[in-house]
Structures are given as structure tokens and as C-alpha cells.
Amino acid sequence: MFADNAKITIRSGNGGDGHVSFRREKYVPNGGPDGGDGGDGGNLIFQVDDGLNTLADFRHRRKFSAQNGEQGGKRNCHGKRGEDLILKVPAGTIIKDAATEKVIADMSGENTRQIVLRGGKGGLGNQHFATSTMQVPKYAQPGQPGIELEVYLELKVIADVGLVGFPNVGKSTLLSRVSNARPKIANYHFTTLNPNLGVVDLEDAGGFVIADIPGLIEGAAEGVGLGHDFLRHIERTKVMIHMVDAASVEGRDPIADIYAINKELDSYNPELLKKPQVIAANKIDAIYDEKESALPALKAEFEPQGIQVYPISAVSGQGLKELLYYVQELLSQLDDTPVVYEQEFYPELLAFKEDACTVEYDEDENVYVVEGPKIEKMLGYTNIDSEKGFLFFQKFLREQGILEKLEELGISDGDTVRMYGLQFDYYKS
């Protein structure tokens, strides 16, 4: 069965502890400390695999952990770094924090590989703690723990065009005729369970990716049936094709069907109704009496709203060329940047939750000093030389209340802030 969501627990590796040991050689009876550092814990990484199209691999196994770093050894031997764990997912997978439902990563577009949880830093061996007054340190730093998090994986199909409609209106037949997709087709009175993707190639006009979104039912936005499972796949599409039965073969009212589906889209996410829509009035080959055709009523109802109606037959191919070229024209007028969800949740912040920090003003040096385990850890976890790392750094300062404390101390634009080895000028954003 098609699996497009899963809830799993992930954990990065613990850092190895630093080692306490002393040189013991034949002619060096009181050798100094030589305890090695612990190895860093392995990272938990998500990576796109183009060969995957479901999240089925996460349905039967729910816990995933990267390897812990090894403890340091004597004679300055460093512990081995823990191996990273790479979890492969299909393109379009969104990783959310299960507790807050905030986005951690969207594996779409150029984002094909992301470290979601960083391993804990290895602890320092006792050789680092020798001083002129403490030449025999019997202390080594413990490794930092990894981060454990429950996440929700959600696959949102990446397609330019979404094909929506009630069950049995001919969506699968249309998809098989206009693209390279080969969905199962039969006269079922229930919905297809799998979103089928196909590539449409148009002569002299490029092409686009079209997705047959499984048939909707009223109440889908409230989760009736498999409503949420289907609706999530429409969010990335840029244009929607409403497919209706213009011949009313089964006695359905196509106008009422379109309004019913739009109501579900609006209930789920009002932004969906802002996408361009076009109506494919299918099964015109089954219209034997023009007086019974729903086409005039469809055109009269929707074309004044700017929604074009195209009569087609998915079986014979009649009208398909006109429909597809119109859809391509709509797409050409839209931004071709893929829909990618921005990061809202930063798991790294969990590593600093219980730690303290101090914010003080040093009058002698005219500098604001921010120190404490929380800051030291943050700088260890983050590469602030990268754009992504710097954005996280800014978010960390804001969410931890550090910027607020600096302002309470009277900091002004251009004043200097020091955090351990890092020094920068403050400017209020």
C-alpha cells in the first residue's frame, strides 16, 4: 500500500567521554596527563533517494539511532567518531517535530541532504586540564549527549498540476492517455489509493508533471475517509484541473461536485483556492442527447468566474490537446520556483534547553560578554560561517532571550559583543 506518512523516533549519537590517564614509562615515574579526547557522536541525516516514492520503509521500524562516539584512550589516543546514520526518503518528504508540527526540513528542490540531528561533541581528556597549579588533573570532560526527537514524516507529491475530482470521473484514464503514467484503470466506485505521477510532453511547448490526486469525498478536510492523506498532495501543485462527468453517467451534478471539492480545499487550506483552476468536462463521447449535456451549465456557471471549461473525452482523446496547451500556458505565467516549506523548528536548540548563560557589560574593555555552557555548546554545534548556521545563530540569540538581556543592559548599534572566541558588532534587526 502507498505510505505517505509515518511517525518515528530519531536520535543522534552521544559524544564519547574524555579519558583520565597519566604517562607511565620506565624513566618517567611521574609523567603528566595523557588522556585522549572522546569521539564525536554520529549525525542523523536525511537524504533524498530518487528511487523511492513512498515512506513504506518507516512503517515497520520506528526507532533510528546514529552511532555513539568512542571514549578517549591513554597516550593521547582520541576516541573514534560515531558513524552517521543516513535515512533515505523520497523527494517531497517534509520532516516535522511531532509535538509542535513545525517544519524541521523539506526534502525538496535543491535540499537533497540535511543533517537533522547533530551528534554530541566528544569530551576533552584530562591532558587539557593541566595547569601550573594542577599538574595531575584527575578529571576529564564527559561527552555531550545526542539529541532524541520524535518526528512526523509527510510526503507531499511534487507536481506542477493536480488532477482532482470525485471517484470514477476518469482521472486515471486521462493520466494514462496524456502521460507516461500507467495507473490501474477500472470502473471502481471507490477511490484510487495511490497518487499517480506522469510527465506530459507537449510539442514545441515543453511539458509538465501531472498528479492524479486520489478521489475526494465530502468531509475530507475534517479527515473523513483518507481526506488529509489526499489533500496534502495538492499543496505543492501550481494549477488544478477539476475533472467532472459532463454526461452525468451516474447521475451526479458536476457543478455541485466542483463546489463540494472547492469547499474541502478551502476547509483544509484557503490558500489552495488561489491556485489557477481549469475544468475538464469528461465523457462527452457518452453524451447522446445535447439537451442532457451539462456543458452549457458548466460554462455559464464557471467561465464568468475566470475558470475555463474544456469538453474532453479521456477515452477517445477528443479535446485533450486544447486542454493541455491551455494548462501549459497557465504554468508559463506562474513562478517556476518549486514550493518548498521553510524551516520552523531547530532541533539543535533542544541541546541547550537546560543550560545557563550570563550576559554582562565589561566597563574596562567596553564590551558586552555572553558566556555559559549554553553558549559554549551552541558555538560547538553551529558553523556560523555558513548562511544557514548564521541564521540559526540569530534565531538562537532571540529565542533564548539573550538579545533582550543585551538591550536591558543598554546595548546600542555598533557596540561590541564577545562570546568566547567570537566577537562581533551589534546591530538591531
Q: Where are the alpha helices (DSSP H) in 98-223?
A: 171-178
3-state secondary structure of 148: strand
**Which residue blocks in 135-288 are alpha helix, DSSP H?**
171-178, 227-231, 254-268
Rounded to a whole number of angstroms, the CA Rg of the chain reads 30
Residue 131 grid cell:
595547569
Q: How far apart are CA 95 and CA 173, in angstroms?
A: 33
The pLDDT score that the predictor gives to residue 309 is 93
**DSSP per-residue string spanning 373-389:** HHHHHHHHH--TTSHHH
Q: What is the pLDDT of residue 266?
A: 85
> What H or E segment, with its residue span, contains residue 199?
strand 196-202
Q: Any idea what DSSP says for residue 160?
A: S
* Cα distance between residue 91 and residue 49, in whole Å: 7
Q: What is the pLDDT of residue 223?
A: 44
Tell me, what's the pLDDT at 172?
79
Contact 84, 44 (CB under 8 A): yes
Q: Which residue has the cell 506542477?
A: 160
CA distance 126 to 31: 13
Half-sphere exposure of 120 (CA within 13 A, CB side): 29
Closest CA to 38 of 120, 137, 115, 117: 120
Give the Cα-Cα-Cα angle 184, 187, 193 (nearest 5 degrees). Answer: 45
**Alpha carbon 30 to chain centroid, angstroms:** 56
Grid cell 463521447 in the structure block, residue: 285
DSSP code for 292? G
- Written as nine digits, the cell of 1 is 500500500
Local confidence pLDDT in tens for the 429 residues of the chain: 456 789 999 999 999 999 988 887 777 666 788 889 999 999 999 999 988 878 888 988 899 999 999 999 888 899 999 999 999 998 889 999 999 889 999 998 888 999 999 999 899 898 888 877 777 788 888 888 899 999 999 888 778 888 888 877 888 788 888 776 554 433 333 344 456 777 788 877 777 888 887 655 544 444 444 445 567 778 888 999 999 888 877 778 889 989 988 888 888 888 888 999 999 998 888 777 666 678 889 999 999 999 999 999 888 889 998 999 999 999 988 887 777 888 888 887 776 666 677 888 888 888 888 888 777 767 766 666 777 777 777 777 887 788 888 888 888 888 888 887 677 787 776
Q: What is the DSSP-derived secondary structure letter of residue 67?
A: P
pTM over 0.85: no
Q: Contact 398/353 with Cβ under 8 angstroms?
A: no
Contact 9, 117 (CB under 8 A): no
Torsion of CA 52, 58, 59, 65, to 10 degrees: 170
Q: How far apart are CA 85 and CA 42, in angstroms?
A: 7
pLDDT of residue 264: 81
How many angstroms separate the CA atoms of 272 and 409, rounded? 47
pLDDT for residue 29: 64
